[in-house]
Amino acid sequence: MTALHHADFNRPKGIHRVRTLPDPALGALWDSIILDEALKDQLVSQAMLNFTMRGKVDRSVLPLHGVIFLVGPPGTGKTSLARGLAHRTAQSFKGGKFQLLEIEPHALTSSAMGKTQRAVSDLFSQSIAEAATRCPTIVLLDEVETLAADRAKMSMEANPVDVHRATDAVLVQLDALAEQNPQLLFVATSNFPEAVDTAFTSRCDLVVHIPLPDAKACAAILCDCLTGLGRTYPSIGKLAKSTDVARCAAACVGLDGRAIRKMVANALASTPETAMNPDSLTADKLLASAKAAAANRLQPGRKT
């Protein structure tokens, strides 16, 4: 059993995975996300504050809900960052035992009237609340717009009454848990923050926009990828130290971190020869792949 599958048990509906923290595998995820270190420090500090202060200060003085919200384009590493943040937070409390619950929001939705609302209420008021009584708990709410859809934008299609009530349930439960469970922190993510109800956003203690990487970050992501490959294919590792990396990184501006790493894979698959012998990858093939990826990236509003 790997470190990613600790605390295996019959999980309640909506809980996709439970992980014991700290977890070095999640620490590696944290390190792999190339982001302004000041922003990473802010995230860790906010998470630490949640566990040091919320149980000691009345919410009428400091109305902390225990929610951090990561927003930004797809591929910028929000989910990996959230998992890594859970590890770093637990690591900050020496000897402390934490756990990470990963929520599967789509498992809670139902076309039957009232079922989504009941599933959401049960998950928060029973499963999550009970978990938080055992040890400090961090909950990952990926694609939170699925559970906290903007009620002001709902149409009369697709059973909006139930979706409306599900959002109501999330808000009610966040308030209740904030009052009763100071050893609980939610980290939510969304690619579409405009689709998230403003009442949810107002409950967030910190909202952080994870941007697309700039030229410097593109170079760091590219070098990290090439260096990692270099542990298996030494010649690829040498490319990370070449002066051509800057040209490739410049061509990658506008791509997200995931797309940059996939671009490297595309370069390795650019010819049968390179695919068969990855050590034959050249800077020219890498640059050509970067330019192709930049030219083919989907623009906002462009149909596929």
Average pLDDT for 204-222: 96
Please compute Rg for the chain using Cα positions.
Answer: 21
**According to CATH, what is the number of the domain 3-209?**
3.40.50.300
pLDDT value for 166: 85
What is the value of pTM for the model shown?
0.88
The dihedral sign for the CA sequence 63, 67, 68, 74: negative
pLDDT tens digits, one per residue of 236-293: 999 999 999 999 999 999 999 999 999 999 999 999 999 999 999 999 999 999 999 9
Cis-peptide, bond into residue 22, ω within 30° of zero: yes
pLDDT greater than 60 at residue 4: no
49: Cβ–Cβ under 8 A, 6 or more apart, which residues? 64
Range list for CATH 3.40.50.300 in the chain: 3-209
Distances (CA, A) of 2 to 16, 20, 24, 61, 177: 16, 11, 11, 43, 31
